Amino acid sequence: MTDTTTRVRPGRLIINGEAVDAASGRAFTTMNPATEVPICEVAEAGAEDVERAVRAARAAFESGPWPRMRPAERQRILFRLGDLILEHGDELGRLETLDNGKPIFESRQIDVPMTANCFHYFAGWATRLAGETLPVSPAFFTYTLREPLGVVAAIIPWNFPMIMVGWKCAPALAAGNTVVLKPAELTPLTAIRIGELALEAGLPPGVLNVLPGPGNVAGEALVRHPGVDKVTFTGSTAVGQRIMRLAADTVKKVTLELGGKSPNIVFADADLDAAVRGVSTGIFYGKGEVCAAGSRLLVEASIHAEFVAKLAERAKKLQPADPLDPKTRLGALVSEAQMKKVLGHIESGVAEGARLVAGGRRQPVDGKGWFVQATVLDAVENRMRVAQEEIFGPVLAVIPFDGVDDAVAKGNDIRYGLAAGVWTKDVKKAHAVARRLQAGTVWVNAYNFYDAGMPFGGFKQSGFGRDLGPECLREVTQVKSVWVNLE
């Protein structure tokens, strides 16, 4: 297996425009999940570093040039950052694959362009954020201003660490906020590198600070800090609930994009070959470590046997392999703990009566790595753990249904509501089912498509607020009403 981890330099914190060590001097090791070999040492942010970073971000907001800069200049800098991400695409893609275990095809060909596109897209919004003139009375000139919030804490997960930098930071910065970014401890490398590129692009000191470190220390300190005005978080529902409780003490604004257990619904009148491909992508892309993964396949009873046979055949061909090989499509899970969690869920599903029709086991590559086979569990009942709990791995639970009402009922019978898929040639049915599903995103005859211009977020316990699209700019700005007496 290819292993080039020795060429990765140690990671440092970025505070007030400088790369620095943690105040405590502590560091942690980030591991290559495909080889089980250390990649490098990374400075470990603690409470004192959070204090330094928030102080720098607050000063940059209160008295620095960023919020007062001409919007066209902010636009230029953010667009330049997007360009730099593309220029360093090979480096960033490699770092992402080494750190996360995902195939280099995904890191380089999908994650890098999508991250750059976020900065390019939201750079354009820097000049378009505006208030309104509201003629409420002839005696007054009345209007609104849309203003930045202040200091935004962005706490991001380990499954898409590079993309999440774009999702969280680009809109906040475009609106004139300053940001303290805390990447996941398991995957800090691309966030640190983009933080360095941001300085090269021209972001003033203190505007974007990067604090790799443990969530229960650095993350909680950020949420508690009175100098932070807003927390935007992507991660588990349990951690999102804790963030809400902690943020209440300082009445912070909070945006949460949390877990999912999304139904991918295949009707008998669908293009079955296209649906098999889409269902496979929906669960096995990103090793299934995707919040919106289509981890529950709801398939109409009349085509159940045929469809599952085709899907199982496809899953068996999808073999774990070296993530740095451009041909690989199934990489390593992010950590040994995550691998054990996924394998435990598979065992639980079989114990509850599900039938294993593909995968189900660990499959090291060259004797190393936290790889799990593409797994399909058939004969799943919607009450089973594998149908209700987020597994976050390449594990698909197959649930048969009878008719539209049954499909919608089973699709919605979950505490989550992040995404869903609908496969049918009947346009009226597609629109009707999409309206009835309790999900923030519904794909029809497709799955796992995203764009910087399209809002993304959840219903129910999948969170609230939106990333991406014009909608998310409301999450990082506030409205001020101004009354000017004309009499």
Residues 303, 275 contacting (CB under 8 angstroms):
no
Using CB atoms within 10 A of its CB, is residue 7 exposed (0-12), middle (13-18) or buried (19+)? exposed
Catalytic residue (one of 257, 289, 390, 475): 257
Q: Is 291 a catalytic residue?
A: yes
> For 273, phi and psi rounded to 5 degrees?
-65, -45
Q: Is 36 a catalytic residue?
A: no
The C-alpha angle 283, 288, 294, rounded to 5 degrees, equals 35
Residue 322 CA from chain centroid, whole number:
24
Cβ-Cβ contacts under 8 Å for 379 (sequence gap 6 or more): 353, 354, 355, 398
Rounded distance between C-alpha atoms, residue 439 and residue 287, angstroms: 22
Rounded distance between C-alpha atoms, residue 339 and residue 287, angstroms: 11
In order, the DSSP letters of 259-317 are ----EEEE-TTS-HHHHHHHHHHHHHGGGG--TT---EEEEEGGGHHHHHHHHHHHHHH
Measuring CA to CA, which residue among 36, 48, 49 is closest to residue 5? 36
Would you give the end-to-end CA distance of the chain in angstroms?
Answer: 78
E strands in 359-451: 375-378, 395-401, 416-417, 419-423, 441-444
| Per-residue tokens: 274 | 């296209």
Residues 16, 314 contacting (CB under 8 angstroms):
no
DSSP count for the chain of H helices, then E strands: 15, 21
Catalytic residue (one of 169, 291, 300, 475): 291
Measuring CA to CA, which residue among 238, 294, 276, 248 is closest to residue 419? 294
For residues 231, 235, 237 and 238, what is the CA-based torsion angle, rounded to 10 degrees? Answer: -90
Residues 391, 344 contacting (CB under 8 angstroms):
no
Residue where the block lists tokens 């939201």: 122
Parallel, antiparallel, or unpaired for β 463-464 and 253-257?
A: antiparallel
Rounded distance between C-alpha atoms, residue 21 and residue 49, angstroms: 9
Residue where the block lists tokens 């730099």: 84
Residues tagged active-site: 257, 291
